[in-house]
Amino acid sequence: MSVENKNDKSYQGNRKIRPAYWWSLAIFVLLLILVIHYFPEIRKEFKLLRKVNAYWLSLAIFSQLMTYFFNAMVYFFLLRTFKQERLPKVGALIRASVISLFFDQVMPSAGISGKTYIFSFLGRFKIETAKVITLIVAELLTFYVTLEILIIFLLGASFFHGKIPYVFNGVLLAGILVYLVIGTATIFAGRKEFFHGLYRRLTKVKFARKLLEKITRRIKQQQFQGSEVQLSAFLQSNKKSMFHAFLAQLLVVAVDALTILALFEGLGIPVSMFSVLLCFICTKIVSTLPISPGALVVYESGMTFFFTSLGLPLGASVIVTLLYRLLSFWFPMPAGFLLYRSWLRAKA
């Protein structure tokens, strides 16, 4: 083989690696800007960890780690319906769950950026585009159904609990309407024209344009192999897997709430699981719509407001809110970035 041919191959290899390098560099710069901007608050949150009992803090950290496991299990139960040899294992799905959360945090877009990564991740396993879209829509439906059931349960329980402020009932009622509308809109995502239009809008998302454009081209090339994604057929023929995915979604919410409960207990503040779940779900409702970095502020202020509305001490409520943000937002960021870089290298 001539020297020129070797050089050509080496040059082509470098060209393959270079886009992954620049993409990971852009993400790193954005992450660095976020850390520098919020550094005083992050340092304060690290100091607050000393106030929490070590046993309860360990439980809180373990519970938060379990959210990634159960989130991965949602996709695991849905993926096994495809019955093909090459499917991602649970470990790969856990890593994908961490990276998906990382994208949602770095590029706030109401969960769109995270789902976009999942789309690209599953595409590496040679799963048809129509099936991937069906799976993502089905996962969203299990998520919204889970929230609707929890909201209805909490609303019914609060009516029989005289000490619950009326503001909670108002937020829960609004949540039923909001998630019903979003869930209905998600069903229409099974239409080819709707999904093409959605991704045309998604290409306007800053920092994610290149990835989104690649996905859009892939959708257009495969043409869905039919006019519509067969969502209804998928739901009817895979009821057992959908139920298992629903249970996994419930467990994601449960361990998230357990994280908050453990932090309160670690500060010596007794609180019921019902109160924690009520405040947690109400916080998710009020922070559903913001799709900018301001959503973080809405989430924090909303959580603190709901805790204090139930009579919990203001100081403890603020500390728990900040520590929960540290465990669920800041801690996963470095892991998400490193896992994403590893994924890009493997892809190249």
- Write the pLDDT tens digit of every residue in 244-290: 999 999 999 999 999 999 999 999 999 999 999 999 999 989 887 55
Residue where the block lists tokens 């190249």: 348
Q: Is residue 205 part of a domain?
A: yes
Angle at 44 between CA 40 and CA 47, to 5 degrees: 145
70 pLDDT tier (thresholds 50, 70, 90): very high
pTM for this model (two decimals): 0.77
Domain assignment of residue 301, yes or no: yes
For 296-341, write each residue's pLDDT tens digit: 667 778 899 999 999 999 888 888 988 898 888 777 777 777 777 7
pLDDT digits (tens, 9 = 90+) for 180-205: 988 887 777 555 545 555 555 555 54
The answer as to whether 29 is a domain residue is: no
99 lies in which domain range?
A: 77-347
Look up tokens 């109401």; give the residue: 110
Tell me if 52 is assigned to some domain.
Answer: no
How many domains, in total, are found in the chain? 1
pLDDT tens digit string along 41-68?
555 556 667 788 889 999 999 999 999 9
Any domain includes 45: no
Query: What's the pLDDT score for residue 12?
Result: 45
Position 4 scores a pLDDT of: 46
Where does the pLDDT of residue 85 fall: very low under 50, low under 70, confident under 90, or very high at 90 and above? low
Residue length of the chain: 348
Domain membership flag for residue 37 = no
What is the dihedral angle through the alpha carbons of 83, 88, 94, 100, rounded to the nearest 10 degrees? -100
Write the single-letter amino acid at 77. Answer: F
What b-and-e string marks burial along 194-229, b requiring 16 or more CB atoms within 10 Å of the CB?
A: ebeeebeebeebebbeebbeebbeebeeeebeeeeb
In a domain, 154, yes or no: yes
In a domain, 15, yes or no: no
